[in-house]
Amino acid sequence: MAKLEENRYGKSRVRLARVKRHATHNNFHEWNVEILLQGDFASCFEAGDNRRILPTDTMKNTVYSVARNSAAQTIEGFAMELSAFLISRNPQITAAEVTVTEKPWDHLPLHGQPHPTTFIQNSTERHTTTVLQKQSGHSPPSDGQKSQRKRKLTIVSGLQNLVIMKTADSAFSGYIKDSLTTLPESQDRLFGTAVWSRWTYSPAAFDFAALRRQIREELLDVFATHKSASVQHTLYAMAERVLQKVSAVEDITLRMPNLHCLPVDLARFGQDNPNEIFVPIDEPHGYIEARISRAGTSGKG
């Protein structure tokens, strides 16, 4: 006898580009949206009864329709609007999870000033958020912050592929050495990584754009100035700084692969290598990940 324990369904990779036009400038956003709905859909799985199913094509159209009237300038704001819209129109849904990934575009610097209507991509970094909004248990009003607060709302934001490198203040020594160890100790190595991070916001209204900038700046400041004894050592210091400086963050997860640059042995050519010539190695690479929370909140997801 089979039993349906959990399920969710939705639409993924809904691409959206939006221009907000102003008298003096335009704003341009490029987002990739995923919607996942939870609810009592057992009749569809077990009996092929689709009467409680919102088509995924309708979800795709909903993204564009909500975007047309949305005032949101952040991925968090848009994800909250979209999840609230889906919840308000579909009482069969118990929860709507919306994930938005942003490909950042910046105003093109031209003659020392940002051009008002031309944009440039400066990196492969991506911004992310996942908003999970649960049904309130009563017939909800359709819009507004007031109705959003009546529902259980979880906001987890982050960034991906923030590629950074430091050429000083990074060491690795004192580790276990056995019969298979060939790695020499180093007191002055290159430290490169592609940071993946996600953090959980406490339940309140925030200026998400300002918070994202601050979190990113704190992470980069620690990476640049920390005297690193290992990737783990610096990862923890970066997370600790965010929790110290940004009260809106409850916990933060950091994933930092160690993108190696290995010194080249030039002795066979009759040359020295004063820690200046390296070969970048993408694979295999070290992989370090940890979630750090405030003291006393480690049980929170």
Q: What is the pLDDT of residues 92-121, one digit of tens each?
A: 999 999 999 999 999 999 999 999 999 999
Q: Do residues 122 and 184 both lie within one domain?
A: no
Q: How far is CA 91 from CA 7, 37, 151, 273, 278, in A?
A: 17, 12, 13, 68, 59
The pLDDT-based confidence of 204 (bands split at 50, 70, 90) is confident
Question: Stretch 137-166: mean pLDDT, rounded?
Answer: 68
Q: Active site includes 127? A: no
User: Among residues of the chain, what percentage have pLDDT more than 70?
Assistant: 93
Q: With respect to residue 4, please indicate whether it lies within any of the assigned structural domains.
A: no
Question: Is 104 strand, coil or helix?
Answer: coil
The count of residues in the chain is 301
| pLDDT the model gives residue 275 | 93
Q: Which of 3, 56, 128, 227 is catalytic?
A: 56
| pLDDT the model gives residue 3 | 86
Question: Stretch 262-282: mean pLDDT, rounded?
Answer: 94
Q: With respect to residue 221, please indicate whether it lies within any of the assigned structural domains.
A: yes
Instruction: Tell which of 151, 172, 198 closes a domain.
Output: 151
Q: Active site includes 111? A: no
Q: Active site includes 74? A: no
Q: With respect to residue 215, please indicate whether it lies within any of the assigned structural domains.
A: yes
Tokens linked to 300: 């929170």
Q: Do residues 147 and 222 both lie within one domain?
A: no
- Could you give the CA distance from residue 132 to residue 148 in angstroms, rounded to a whole number? 11
Q: Which of 29, 127, 226, 260 is catalytic?
A: 260
CB of 206 closer than 8 Å to CB of 247: no
The pLDDT-based confidence of 36 (bands split at 50, 70, 90) is very high
Amino acid at 192: G
Question: Stretch 59-69: mean pLDDT, rounded?
Answer: 97
Provide the CATH number for the domain around residue 39.
Answer: 3.10.270.10
Q: What is the pLDDT of residues 118-139, one digit of tens each?
A: 999 988 999 999 999 998 753 3
| pLDDT the model gives residue 143 | 35
Parent domain of 142: 9-151
Q: With respect to residue 3, please indicate whether it lies within any of the assigned structural domains.
A: no
Instruction: Tell which of 151, 177, 197 closes a domain.
Output: 151
Q: What is the pLDDT of residues 210-243, one digit of tens each?
A: 999 999 999 999 999 999 999 999 999 999 999 9
CB of 185 closer than 8 Å to CB of 176: no
Q: With respect to residue 29, please indicate whether it lies within any of the assigned structural domains.
A: yes
The pLDDT-based confidence of 140 (bands split at 50, 70, 90) is very low
| pLDDT the model gives residue 206 | 83
Q: With respect to residue 82, please indicate whether it lies within any of the assigned structural domains.
A: yes
Question: Stretch 195-210: mean pLDDT, rounded?
Answer: 91
Q: Say how many Å lie between the first and final Cα of the chain, rounded.
A: 33
Query: What total of structural domains would you count in the chain?
Result: 2
Question: Stretch 51-73: mean pLDDT, rounded?
Answer: 96
- Mean pLDDT in the chain? 91
| pLDDT the model gives residue 142 | 35
